[in-house]
Amino acid sequence: MTDQPPKTEHAQDDDIVVDNVAEQATEQTVVDETAIEETGQESPELPAEQAESSAEPSATAELSAEAEDDTTHANALAQIPESDEPQTASEGAAETPDPKSTDESETKDELAVAADADEAPETKSPKDDPVRFEELALPEPLTRAISVLGFEECTPIQGRSLPFSLSDYDVTGQAQTGTGKTAAFLITLLTRFWENPHQERPNLGTPRALVLAPTRELALQIQGDAEGLAKYMGMSTVCLVGGMDFDRQREELAKQPVDILVGTPGRLIDFLERRDINLSKVECLVIDEADRMLDMGFIPDVRRIVYQTPHKRKRQTLFFSATFNDAVMRLADSWTIDPEHIVVEPESVATDTVDQKFWLVEASKRQRILLDFINHNEPARAIIFANRRDRTHKLVDYLKKKGIACEGLAGDIPQKKRLSTLNKFKNGELKYLIATDVAGRGIHVDGVTHVINYELPDDAEDYVHRIGRTGRAGATGTAISFVSEDDAFNLPALEEYLSSSIKCIQPDLLPEG
């Protein structure tokens, strides 16, 4: 396999870990960061003892350390073995012209007009004037694959982001899962590689694109989508995730050069430390579901990985997140250059394609009402969400005893079993899936007719993520939420988040239609 890539300068790539303390950074630090950006000079390396002590910093210590760009860069790489290759990034920094120059603004304005001429009026929905894939001048093999998959028109996030991403601009996209954002960045990568093929065979383990995802299920789903879109293009995708055979993944890397590498942060670092992958030739970095990675505490690992890729001025970055609060925006700003920010509001995702119902249910009667609903309505394919793992397992046991074929999907279930369950659900062998939020975030299955919230989530954003499993990519679906005395207090926050009032009704157990 290849040697580890040289450390590249990332003065501007340093992100700011989320915390209110970050707001207290001094003005002098900002001045120092600006000076480093302009000169490209690295600050002196820390002593080994200090580097080791900062490898796993506390929240407060991490914030103070990250205020100094190059010091953080040195610390983040401390655990990855040094490369034997010569240092080249800083040598070429002053001589290489900036590919993303200030002359972009006029061209970018023209693209904005072409891609979204009617965007100015707030009341106009992007779906009123959908973009057809044939209008984007995509490679013929890619167009053929899209047609075989049954797609003709772009979803809003695709139609608004592709004109920019296909023109090599950085993009930050705010959209829920199920809106087609995975296809948006994959089409960008495949088009780029088709139009700019390698002139010579690349080294093994040296991908052209890196896609970071927070969960195994999502990473595997991205790999599957990539293989479907690249069916006639002869491009390879490898997925590296935890909970699966490490040696087998190494064998996959050794088979042939990799175009797209998809992975979760922990497993990617394992391969980096063994020098089995080299990220120095990455042309495009994709960070998917950044808000979830933030929630799950993966940002320090993501930072270490990003530092192994070329400088953000020498790569394209596509950054997607379901939400863009101040914390996520800070991460996006640190890893992108003048990105085009695309927003598909969660309200439209939640209300336009999903029929939402809120049933008043006594907590002690939830199981019985769920069973009656399944028996009376016989939904074709449903995901039932619970807030805790133990409740998920109890619900699976209860339904099975009542003759309902179902399986659970929770973080404490072995990975092999989870994948088997998810494949059964995708293939239609399993009609009912009981899941927690973390496990359910990686479920991307078309044809889900119902989402049932066995209990309301504590976070309003999780509600939108849940019901986004149905009504995907323009299809319609039904979301039923049980509201009991245990969780009714979550309704005001949910109403505020959706910008609409919620009317609770008695359960309607009659078959639809």
pLDDT in tens, 149-177: 888 889 889 999 999 999 999 999 988 76
Q: Does residue 113 form part of some domain? A: no
Q: What is the dihedral of CA 28, 34, 36, 38, to 10 degrees?
A: -150
Helix (H), strand (E) at residue 355 = strand 354-360
299, 315, 344 - which closes a domain = 344
Query: Does 124 fall in a domain?
Result: no
Lowest mean pLDDT among 72-86, 319-333, 422-436: 72-86
Residue at 9: amino acid letter: E
Residue 75 lies in a domain: no
pLDDT of residue 226: 95
- Same-domain check for residues 253 and 289: yes
Both tokens assigned to 43: 């600050």
Nearest to 280 by CA among 298, 305, 256, 299: 305
Is 118 among the domain residues?
A: no
Of the candidate ranges 118-122, 161-165, 267-271, the one whose mean pLDDT is the lowest: 118-122
CATH number, domain of 306, equals 3.40.50.300
Q: Select from 322, 344, 366 the last residue of a domain.
A: 344
Residues 249 and 362 in one domain: no
Q: What are 177-187's pLDDT values in tens digits?
A: 667 889 999 99
- pLDDT over 50 at 11, yes or no: no
Task: Note the pLDDT of residue 402.
Answer: 94
Residue 103 domain flag: no
Q: Between 64 and 379, whose confidence is greater?
A: 379
Greater pLDDT, 133 or 54? 133
pTM: 0.59
339 and 369 co-located in one domain = no
The per-residue pLDDT for range 382-424, each reduced to its tens digit, is 999 999 889 999 999 999 999 999 999 887 888 778 888 888 9
Structure confidence by residue, pLDDT tens digits, 455-506: 999 888 788 888 888 877 667 889 999 999 988 898 998 888 888 889 999 9
Same domain, 239 and 286: yes
Range of the domain at 299: 146-344
Check whether residue 367 and residue 430 sit in a common domain. yes
Local confidence band at 244 (pLDDT 50, 70, 90 cut-offs): confident
- Domain finish residue from 344, 362, 396: 344
**C-beta separation of 169 from 302 below 8 A:** no
Please report, for residues 214, 320, 448, the alpha-carbon distance to residue 438 in angstroms, rounded to integers and kept in the order given. 10, 18, 18
Checking if the pLDDT of 102 tops 80, the result is no
User: 435 with 409: CB under 8 angstroms?
Assistant: yes
What torsion, rounded to 10 degrees, do the Cα atoms 371, 460, 487, 366 define? 0
More confident call, 198 vs 16: 198
- The answer to whether residue 1 is domain-embedded is no
Is 230 found in the same domain as 178?
yes
Same domain, residue pair 423 and 444? yes
Q: CB-hemisphere CA count at 13 Å for 133?
A: 25
Q: Please state at what angle helix 216-229 crosses helix 140-148, rounded to 10 degrees.
A: 120
Domain shared by 173 and 302, yes or no: yes
Residue 353: pLDDT above 90?
no
373 and 449 belong to one structural domain? yes
Higher-confidence residue: 291 or 441?
Answer: 291
Q: Are residues 388 and 313 in the same domain?
A: no
Residues 393 and 285 grouped into a single domain: no
Distance CA(289)–CA(320), nearest Å, equals 6
How far lies 113's CA from each of 162, 397, 504, in Å? 13, 55, 43
Task: Say yes or no to pLDDT of 33 above 80.
Answer: no
Give the number of domains in the chain: 2
Label residue 393 left, alpha or beta by phi (over 0 means left) and psi (-120 to 50 means alpha): alpha
Same domain for 294 and 198: yes
Give me the chain's average pLDDT, please. Answer: 77
In angstroms, rounded to a whole number, what is the distance separating the alpha carbons of residues 370 and 165?
Answer: 44
Q: Indicate whether 119 belongs to any domain.
A: no
Q: Does residue 104 lie in a domain region? A: no
CA distance 224 to 445: 12
Gap between the Cα atoms of 64 and 21, Å rounded: 9
Return the bridge partners of 319, or none: 172, 287
